[in-house]
Amino acid sequence: MRFQCSFCLSIVSTDQPLGNKIPCPSCGRSCFVPRSHSEEHCVIGDFVVGKKVGSGSIGSVFKAKQLSLERDVALKLLLPELSSPKFVSAFLKEARAAAQLSHANLVQAYAVGEENGICYLAMNYIDGESLSHRLEREGSIAVDEALHIIQQVAEALYYAWDEARLIHRDVKPDNIMITKEGMVKLTDLGLAMNQAEWTEDMEISGSPSYMSPEQFAGEKLDTRSDIYSLGVTLYQMLSGELPFKGETFQDVARQHFNEDSVPLHRLGLGISLKVSNLVKKMMEKLPEDRHENMEGLLKELWTVRQTTAPDRDLVPDVHTISINKLDYDLQNRSIRNKVSPQERIKKLKGRRDFLFWLLVTVFPLPIVVLAVFLFFRETRKEPPLTLLLEEKMQDFAARFEKKQIHPTLMSVEAEQLMHTVPPRGRQTVRQSVIYWQLKCFLEKIENEKLKIDMDDSRMLIKSLEDKYRRELSGKNLVSKKMQASSGALKKQLADHRSKAEKMIEVNKKLSQQIEHDKKNITALQTDIFHFKRNYMLVQLYVLIQKPDFEMAYAMLEHCREILGKKFAGEYSSMKALIARLELLTQYFSKGNARMLGKPLEPGCKITMIRNGIVYYEDDSGDIRSKPVFEIPDKALFKLVRSTDKRVAGSFKVFSSDMALLNNCPEAPEAVIGGSCAKELVTAYVNFQVERIIALGKRNHAAAKKLAEKMVYRFRLSPLCKDIELKLKAFL
């Protein structure tokens, strides 16, 4: 492992175990080997790892220093638990994607490599904050500033798509950085994908709150998917809330597919309709309903900003890189007032030369020599250790003044810092000052520790005195409490008895309420069962009238599954009824060879039966026809009975079956012949009655006409009285 010595800043190479204490080969000071390859001062490749600044989809990001060029970089390290070939491939893919793109609004890759099993990617360091951190701090962002940020991100996405057909797939506030100069940088290309790489079995990747519907579905993506994610981000920037929130992945996905976000102009935030419509179009469910491409989005962004920007002339044109903050006047003033480093050096040098010649002119030569010696002695270059000690000393002094750490810990830290100061004979003036400052601090710390010990002693004495007083007064109160306790206990006992009686009464009422609720639940379950049963019987009746016996059998099976054991008895009877009706339908639609030549009426012989029409030859030899439903049931029963006794059964059942086939629920035979037929007809009649009652709530006159027709139609049916009772309000 390689790491940087914290004292002399030289690079140390060692094979010692992580966390061990070793001497620095350069300065001889004792230093610790980092406990991990991602700890501060660890050296990976050409980079010294600094503090952690963030995390990406597959790794952590650290601020680092590039040794060869002495510049700050952002160093992304692949997480150790993700060192499988799959994630290494994704890591290298991000590096290649960042390397082939060069745009002001995209992070730029500097180097990629592997050392000691750690994959790393060096990128340009962005001195600023992420959009997500800003939203956490401010809640929401002003309209034109939000559009300004989105415009820059859209430029980056346009360039990635136009240059390499890359889709980012993870656009969200965490991956949008804003520099102190106001530049926007799109980061984390770990999930970026070339459109040509798409396959049907690809793993679905992304952040659920910002993913497009087609991304959830695993469909082929294009730049319009990034437009959707950018729209969600803009919605969050303006409203301070995500448009879709859920506790589970499935819940969030369902909202992205099926629900529409609340329009921004209706949130009472003063957002214009144009901005609201822009966000709505970006978040359309279907890709074809969004902007055709990123070019179209950029043009509409520019158009909308003409109405939101304080100064239209400052809105950058499409594909024009913006490098300024929104407050251009303030920025220009700061540029005018800024003094270059060369000018500052020139002024300081002139001031030093002036002081030198002043001393030469005014003071005698020995004093001048001494002053010049001291002046230039103080201004000579100090070793790097002095600067490090001064920095640590300032930090130590600040924390001491704020009393952020206990004096004991401060004492230990001061002793450790004292050991890093060179011995007395090898100290520079500034190092000597630091040494005596530390001595003073140690004395102050000892005084603080003594004060704390004295305060602790006083508090202990006071607590012991208080305890003694409490015990003394407690002994005097014991007898009084014992006397009062018997009366209090008696009172409590009476209260408990009263509460117990009340609880018994409450429990009794609750038991009665539970029994009542059980009865209501049972009645409700019965009503639900009858409702489902009647609904399905009506469907069965309609299927018989079509006729569609295949669907009728299927509906019957469905009834048995839904209604369960309570329907088991009716199931067999209903199945037999459907079988009879199907057989009769076949007889009277396709005919039967055994019926040919059979007498229909005296002197009339059947010649053919087809599609419900009976063709027969009369006495004169003429061929006549008559619909089946016009032939009396007795004649039909006798005819069918003579050919197939299985079909006919009893006359009552036959009459009931024919009434059902002929759609004559008003016929008395329909409800007299069999229980199954009666149940079907009753369910159908109740359904018609409910329709009339429902119509009556909107149009009483129309409902009245239908009620009168229905009563007249069923005047001969045994169900007539029940119908009149239910439709009494319309008669």
- Just list the catalytic residues: 170
Helix or strand (DSSP H, E) at 642: helix 633-643
CA distance 169 to 207: 9
Helix or strand (DSSP H, E) at 391: helix 384-402
Looking at 191-338, which runs of residues are DSSP E strands?
Answer: 193-194
Q: Which amino acid is at 84?
A: S
Kindly state the tokens that stand for 583: 């057989």
> Which residues lie below 8 Å from residue 718, measured CB to CB, with a gap of 6+?
668, 671, 672
* Nearest to 17, CA basis, from 6, 5, 32: 32
The three-class DSSP label of residue 288 is helix
43: left (phi over 0), alpha (psi -120 to 50) or beta: beta
Kindly state the tokens that stand for 329: 């006047």
Kindly state the tokens that stand for 281: 């179009």
Sheet holding 128-130, edge to edge: 128-130, 176-179, 184-186
Q: Which single residue is written with the structure tokens 């704390």?
A: 452
Strand partners, 616: 606, 624
> Which residues lie below 8 Å from residue 553, measured CB to CB, with a gap of 6+?
575, 578
Residue 576 burial (10 A CB sphere; 0-12, 13-18, 19+): middle
Q: Which amino acid is at 250?
A: Q
Pairing mode, if any, of strands 47-55 and 42-44? Answer: antiparallel
Pairing mode, if any, of strands 11-13 and 2-4? Answer: antiparallel
- The C-alpha torsion from 602 through 603 and 606 to 611, rounded to 10°, is -70
Count the neighbouring beta carbons within 10 Å of the beta carbon of residue 63. Answer: 19
Q: Which amino acid is at 684?
A: Y
> Which residues lie below 8 Å from residue 702, measured CB to CB, with a gap of 6+?
695
Pairing mode, if any, of strands 613-617 and 604-610? Answer: antiparallel
Q: Which amino acid is at 696?
A: G
- Reduced DSSP (H G I as helix, E B as strand, rest coil) percent helix, strand, coil of the chain, to 5: 60, 10, 25
Residue 244 has φ and ψ, to the nearest 5°, of -130, 125
Report yes or no: 173 and 230 within 8 Å, Cβ to Cβ.
no
391-412 b/e with 16+ CB inside 10 Å = b?
A: ebbeebeeebeeeeeebeebbe
Residue 149 CA: distances (Å) to CA of 95, 144, 182, 209, 471: 25, 9, 9, 20, 71
Residue 249: half-sphere exposure toward Cβ, Cα within 13 Å? 8
* Nearest to 302, CA basis, from 150, 103, 141, 131: 150
Residue 534: half-sphere exposure toward Cβ, Cα within 13 Å? 16
